[in-house]
Copies of this chain bind each other. A is one copy, B any other.
Amino acid sequence: MKGNLLAVVLWGAASSAAVAGPVESSPTGSVAAAQPYAPLFKSELERSRSFVDQMMVAGVVVPVPRDPGGGYTHEQHKRNFKAIYEGGQLYRITGEQKYVDYVRDMLLAYAKLYPTLDEHPARKDSQSSGRIFWQVLNDAMWMVDSIQGYEAIRSRLSDADRDNIDENLFRKAAAFLSTGSAVTFSKIHNHATWATAAVGMTGYVLGDKELVDIALLGLDKSGETGFLRQSELLFSPDGYYTEGPYYQRFALKPFVVFAGVIEKNDPARKIFEHRDGILLKALRTTIQLTYDGYFFPFNDAIKDKSLQTDELYHGVAIAYRKTRDPGLLSIAQWQGRTVLTDDGKLVADDLAAGKAGPFPFKSLLLSDGPEGNQGAVAILREGDSTSGQALVAKNSSQGMGHGHFDKLSWQYYDNGNEIVSDYGAARFLNIEAKEGGRYLPENESWAKQTIAHNTLVVDEKSHFDGDVKVADRIAPKQLFFSDAEGARISSAVIEGAYPDTRFTRTLALLSVDGISAPLALDIVRVQSDGTHQYDLPLHYQGHIMRVGFDTDANNAARPVLGTGNGYQHIWVDAAGQPQGQDGFVTTLLDGRFNTYRFVPQQGAETILAEIGANDPDFNLRREPIIIQRVRSAQNTTFVSMLESHGRYDGAAEQTVGSDSQIKSISHESINGLDIVFVETLDGKKVALAVSYDSDLEKKHAVKVGDQMLNWTGFAARIDLPAGKAKR
């Protein structure tokens, strides 16, 4: 029998050659059926049985590759690798021979097809072609699942079948994914992680040390590329993946699944301790990058992605095995799913045993870059992670090709909803009518452009003039972060997004007595050597209830705001010149009111707009925007605030707090220091003072009107006596 040179264990497998790793479930035979499974595992087993049995009824269907993402052959091959994986697990759990037969027949069909394949007919010039799929990435995903299914039944095959599948399918596929796709395999990129995981796991199953070595250390085994190097370069020391949460989720599966296999086959390597436990840290960080279970959708991201995804079922189960962290059980509970492995069984058992505890969602600063010095993502939270507030400051680096030109952008969540929103990617995944499910042209013309984000645009151009090579070299700098109770603050600066202009953004969540949700304050301080037009857009979800200032509405014809860099996609509904305290817009979303309030600058204009112009194929969602515009200035400061308030209950016909509870907001800039004053309708007064001084011990004092304000360090909240505040 081949393949037992190394200890071949992927998931505590049924192979009689298994010599390492925990094997908790009965390896073969009907005794398993008598075991009482915990509810989560039981339902997973039933779901899987139902799926695989349905696939078995349809028979082995392995079509010649033809279609791109979303097309028939694409989806069929996806179903197949899922069935191969799950068929293997079902055999391991139930011992039923029919699963061996089915997985074997499927793999024999692939072993017959695979050697006949060349470039995929639907390949795109911009991406490496796969054999089974249009992208080599999908081939790697096919293999990561299929090799695990194969491993579970391999020892039960005849020598002839095993040799056939080993040689004609997996060895050939491993060769294609490694030496045959050397450029992809050698990248420091999630595509390479999938490829190295596929090849390395195949190496363990086939007993081929060479495959394992190149997977771990790169084709030249120097360690400059390969899985280990990827785990060092793709995650920051805080476990943040530079492409952002959507791809962090996606990249996580090959990392943790392959690591789980390495741990079992080669425990001496202590893979989970590698680089200070980076892989488990990355898993926890992935979970932190969510609100109400949904990933913060910045950069290229499909917004319907939540923790309910295959990658995280695996990730949570593997991490729980290693850590026994009760918080992970509550995540599994929210997911309502687990995996059909011993790890999944452990999760289900411990969940049933009541061992779950809350996952500690919290305010966090997550550094970006392999060394942690390429900017950061700051998360400010108040209340729980499903109905409370979360403010996300995206002060991270560009994050390569899937990155957006949105330095110092932000998002805001409240009441289970994204209020200040990020468009995510312009893409309809797997929907053929939409460019075969690929990224749409509007991903470049809109979604990546700066104006599509909640950050500063100078002269209607995107950051770095939209050049990703330049963007990848220049990261923001996180200046300050505090998660102090009642005044959580983040501040960062970006220099180089525009040739002669730098800007600093300070975002804060301030809790104020008598105000139901903390106020989200926003100070964008712009300094330039030249004179420019400055736009500060706010992309929001909700329906306008009240506009504080007079507007001229484009009633009878709706013009477009600009001609390029995303501006060509914006319809202008109305514009006005706010004055004094009338600079606000109140909106309603899902029974909750939100007021966006700002300090009008001299001569500034506010534009109410909507996406959708120059979109003949209806590729864009129609979403509203508020744009603060300063037509011509050198230095300027945008001071804004987001206030969530009140409640509209349609069923009970009750409305409370539908109007803002704020009386005034004002701003003073004194000797380069910024102070923002907020007064509530019932007279509470609070200030946010920013010194921009990195000396956290330094004391600052500023006189505003006849009042002296004192604070220590970079930024602070100052509570003012009622009736004594300036103005």
Contacts and interface: CB of A to CB of B under 8 A. Distances in A.
7 contacts: A308-B651, A433-B546, A547-B617, A551-B616, A553-B615, A555-B560, A610-B612
A616 B555 contact: yes
A474 interface: no
B556 A571 contact: no
A614 B553 CA distance: 8
A430 B649 CA distance: 10
Nearest to A302: B650
A701 B505 CA distance: 77
Contact of A654 (B78, B615, B651): B78
Interface in A561-576: 568, 571, 573-574
A545 interface: yes
Given A650-B429, A655-B70, A618 B557 contact: no
Interface in A6-46: none
Contact of A574 (B310, B571, B616): B616
Nearest to A544: B618
Nearest to A308: B651
B648 A430 contact: yes
A275 interface: no
Interface string A633-658: 00000000000000010111111101
Given A560-B556, A614-B556, A652 B621 contact: no
Contact of A558 (B305, B571, B655, B658): B571
A8 B430 CA distance: 67
A568 to B, nearest CB: 8
A659 interface: yes
Contacts of A655: 70, 75, 429-432, 437
A653 B306 CA distance: 12
B650 A304 contact: yes
A613 interface: yes
A121 interface: no
A669 interface: no
A432 B557 contact: no
A29 to B, nearest CB: 32
Given A304-B650, A551-B616, A556-B614, A659 B433 contact: yes
A454 interface: no
What are the nearest 5 A-B pairs in CB distance? A304-B650, A553-B616, A544-B618, A433-B546, A558-B558
Interface string A73-102: 001001100000000000000000000000
Contact of A432 (B75, B553, B659): B659
Nearest to A309: B651
A304 B653 CA distance: 10
A650 B433 contact: no
Given A75-B654, A553-B615, A573-B618, 16 more contacts: A302-B650, A304-B650, A306-B651, A430-B653, A432-B655, A433-B545, A433-B546, A433-B586, A553-B616, A555-B614, A556-B613, A557-B558, A557-B559, A558-B571, A610-B612, A610-B622
A67 B613 CA distance: 42
B70 A432 contact: no
A281 interface: no
A73 to B, nearest CB: 13
Interface string A192-208: 00000000000000000
A509 interface: no
Contacts of A560: 555-557
A355 interface: no
A402 interface: no
A49 interface: no
A654 B80 CA distance: 13
A304 B651 contact: yes
Nearest to A655: B430
Contacts of A586: 433
A247 interface: no
Interface in A652-685: 652-656, 658-659
A48 B302 CA distance: 43
A477 B201 CA distance: 71
Contact of A545 (B428, B544, B547): B428
A621 B305 contact: no
A100 B551 CA distance: 54
Of A588, A608, A613, A655, the most chain B CB neighbours within 10 A belong to A655
Interface string A595-624: 000000000000010101111111001100
Nearest to A560: B556
Nearest to A616: B553
A649 to B, nearest CB: 9
A431 B648 contact: yes
Contacts of A437: 655
A346 to B, nearest CB: 23
Contacts of A553: 615-616
A543 interface: yes
A135 to B, nearest CB: 13
Given A310-B652, A545-B434, A618-B543, A658 B70 contact: yes
Contacts of A302: 650
Contact of A557 (B308, B310, B557): B557
Contacts of A70: 655, 658
Given A309-B651, A618-B547, A588 B431 contact: yes
Contacts of A551: 616
Contacts of A431: 545, 588, 648, 655, 658
Given A304-B650, A308-B651, A555-B616, A432 B658 contact: yes
